[in-house]
Amino acid sequence: MGYRIAIVGATGNVGHEMLNILAEREFPVDEIAALASRRSLGSEVSFGEKTLVTQDLDTFDFSGWDMALFAVGSDATKKYAPKAAAAGCVVIDNSSLYRYDPDVPLIVPEVNADAIEGYKNKNIIANPNCSTAQMVVALKPLHDRAKIKRVVVSTYQSVSGAGKEGMDELWDQTKSMYNPTDDVPAKKFQKQIAFNVIPHIDVFMEDGTTKEEWKMVAETKKIVDPSIKVTATCVRVPVFVGHSEAINIEFEDFLDEDEARDILREAPGIMVIDKREDGGYVTPVECVGDYATFISRIRQDSTIENGLNMWCVSDNLRKGAALNAVQIAEVLGQRCLKKG
């Protein structure tokens, strides 16, 4: 016996990956509904070998559905997630709306699966920001061994993190560079993204950080340990899919780079590719379609007492969103909503 699952935002980047991953991992599904806005009513999406016809989220009745995986922005989530939850359907949400709500668990299954029991408070579970998800998978096993004091992270985030419109803008601007009669002004991003990098994701906060940077700080504390200090610089780069991060970690105790490499090799969700030779590391184009968070360039930071540097790459539409949401659904099914 399987579950009745609704995919909310099935026509988007993350929704599309959710459908792929549920099929790939043979999630026990009895019935699946693809939901999006009225604009997409009747359009088709693939679920494994099957084709699903998209339904209108606005008129959908969630009664009798076990789980709804939401991948629409915060505004639509605010309107529809409470309706689904009130109908008894557990919401697993990809937007930032509920992440900082103390009554809503924020889950990365490799790190804090036990917190899932908190879903009962509101029938809602939050999925973290894409940059946080891949970073905490790598931080947790190191924190368990040597206690992390402080993290300094710089991100190199792909345009798919800004949805399908972000991908279109990079594609159109890149083409227009070779055809000067086409002018594609910046719309989704604040400046030209083709052949450029932009040190600005989401809105500015009062202290000069951006909301994306603030999210990495707040979410790492909620998921891993409130005592960890994090400072982040989040940058958009002209890459279609795959986020990269340069991470500097200061530990309470000494941790040798070889031991760190061994710990990460054993850690769930991590793949270490770390050869000190040309090409002996992972770049974002190589992580697309993969489940793993890839760690490379692990090395001691000799400028501080107990420091390490590393390079972290993952598919933002997978571990950063859809895969993590499906993993949450798997834990929920196994621990809380058993069938059969």
Closest residue to bound ligand NAP by CB: 12
Q: Which is nearer to ligand NAP, 177 or 197 (CB)?
A: 197
Q: Which is nearer to ligand NAP, 110 or 250 (CB)?
A: 110
Task: Identify whether 143 is a catalytic site residue.
Answer: no
The answer to whether the annotation marks 20 as part of a ligand binding site is no
The answer to whether the annotation marks 40 as part of a ligand binding site is yes
Q: What is the smallest separation between the CB atom of 240 and ligand NAP, expressed in angstroms? A: 11
The answer to whether the annotation marks 289 as part of a ligand binding site is no
Q: What is the smallest separation between the CB atom of 89 and ligand NAP, expressed in angstroms? A: 16
Q: What is the smallest separation between the CB atom of 225 and ligand NAP, expressed in angstroms? A: 22
What are the b/e assignments for 180-204, b being 16+ CB within 10 Å? eeeebeeebbeebbbeeebeebbee
Residue 281 token pair: 């590391």
Taken as a whole, the chain contains a residue count of 340
Helix (H) or strand (E) holding 297: strand 293-301
Strand residues in 59-210 grouped as ranges (E) = 67-70, 90-93, 124-126, 148-157
> Are the CB atoms for 18 and 325 separated by under 8 Å?
yes
Q: Rounded to an integer, what distance in angstroms lies between the CA atom of residue 262 and that of residue 264?
A: 5
Of these residues, 16, 89, 234, 243, which one is catalytic?
243
Q: Which is nearer to ligand NAP, 95 or 296 (CB)?
A: 95
The answer to whether the annotation marks 39 as part of a ligand binding site is yes
The answer to whether the annotation marks 154 as part of a ligand binding site is no
Q: Rounded to an integer, what distance in angstroms lies between the CA atom of residue 34 and that of residue 5?
A: 9
Q: Which is nearer to ligand NAP, 57 or 295 (CB)?
A: 57
* Footprint on this chain of ligand NAP (rule: CB under 6 A): 9-15, 36-37, 39-40, 57, 71-73, 76, 94-95, 129-130, 160-161, 163-164, 316-317, 320-321
Q: Distance of CA 169 to CAs 99, 133, 163, 234, 245, Å?
A: 28, 25, 10, 19, 23
Q: What is the pairing mode between strands 243-251 and 148-157? A: antiparallel
- Per DSSP, 318 falls in state I
Q: Which is nearer to ligand NAP, 269 or 320 (CB)?
A: 320
The answer to whether the annotation marks 141 as part of a ligand binding site is no
Q: What is the smallest separation between the CB atom of 217 and ligand NAP, expressed in angstroms? A: 17
The answer to whether the annotation marks 180 as part of a ligand binding site is yes
Of these residues, 130, 234, 287, 312, which one is catalytic?
130
Task: Identify whether 130 is a catalytic site residue.
Answer: yes
Q: What is the smallest separation between the CB atom of 28 and ligand NAP, expressed in angstroms? A: 24
List binding-site positions for phosphate. 99
List binding-site positions for NADP(+). 11-14, 39-40, 160-161, 180, 316
Q: Give the residue numbers annotated as catalytic, written as ranges.
A: 130, 243
List binding-site positions. 11-14, 39-40, 99, 157, 160-161, 180, 236, 316
